Amino acid sequence: VEFLYCDLASMKSIRQFVQQFRAKNCPLHVLVNNAGVMLVPERKTEDGFEEHFGLNYLGHFLLTNLLLDTLKQSGTHSHNARIITVSSATHYVGKLHLNDLQSRCSYSPHGAYAQSKLALVLFTYRLQHLLTANGSHVTANVVDPGVVNTELYKHVFWVVKVVKWMTAWLFFKTPEEGASTTIYAAVSPEVEGAGGCYLYNEERTKSADIAYDEELQRRLWTESCKMVGISDEASRLP
């Protein structure tokens, strides 16, 4: 196991990481996008992005796009390279505000978190559409890990923390259990060649209706490219 440093809240750090990784000339068969914050107070990343949107979504958007060429070169007809992005059931109540992705007009920790998780689902579906259109041997799926007992809840109200402490053993998954669907998406033969799926408890299920809006997927992709400073070559594809 070898570790390379990458701060998903920093576009500069992401670019430096990709440069270091490419210098190793290694294949890339599985990319898991799993960094995130939840319900943090209003604050910005070093690039000026609202933290939920900047870290949870834009960081993964840029990282994935910068690694796409390597992923395409690593995948084969019989063994596709795989991109797994971790979202949340919170995306079902999320609303994407294309005119205010940074939540400047009215900030809500819950709203900003839900928006970032919905964006990840929209991104995954658009990415799979583009990969298929290009004939790439790469699949992109999105995972809902469930309610997992981790430090992600450190910013919730103290009453919720007490309830969590009292009931986690009964209602929350362990980190190992929470990781099971991500591992399933990464290595299971059952999903070989299958992309554009929303997976929960190692099964394909339906995401929020809005996530299937192809026009919204396209608009978010184009705006995301502008925000992170990469070329939107995908805009020329159907």
Asked if residue 214 lies in contact with residue 238, where contact means CB atoms within 8 angstroms, the answer is no
Residue owning tokens 């990469």? 230
| Model pLDDT, residue 173 | 59
For residue 65, the tally of other CB atoms under 10 A from its CB is 22
Average pLDDT, the chain: 88
pLDDT in tens, 122-135: 999 999 999 999 99
pLDDT of residue 24: 96
Predicted pLDDT of residue 187: 96
Closest CA to 197 of 183, 212, 176, 210: 212
CA end-to-end span of the chain, whole Å?
Answer: 40
**Is the pLDDT score of 235 beyond 60?**
no
Domains and CATH numbers, the chain: 9-233 (3.40.50.720)
Phi first, then psi: give them for residue 83, nearest 5 degrees.
Answer: -115, 120
Q: Which of 20-24, 36-40, 199-203 has the lowest mean pLDDT?
A: 36-40
Q: How confident is the model over 85-97, as pLDDT tens digits? A: 999 888 999 999 9
Check if 5 is active-site.
no
In this predicted structure, what is the pLDDT of residue 180? 82
pLDDT one-digit tens code per residue, 23-81: 999 999 999 999 888 878 899 999 999 999 999 999 999 999 999 999 999 999 999 99
Q: Which of 113, 125, 184, 198 is catalytic?
A: 113
Answer whether residue 229 shows pLDDT above 70: yes
Q: Does 178 score more than 80 pLDDT? A: no
Read out DSSP for 171-231? HSBPHHHHHHHHHHHHH-GGGTT--S-EEETTEEE---GGGG-HHHHHHHHHHHHHHHT--
Q: What is the pLDDT of residue 1?
A: 87
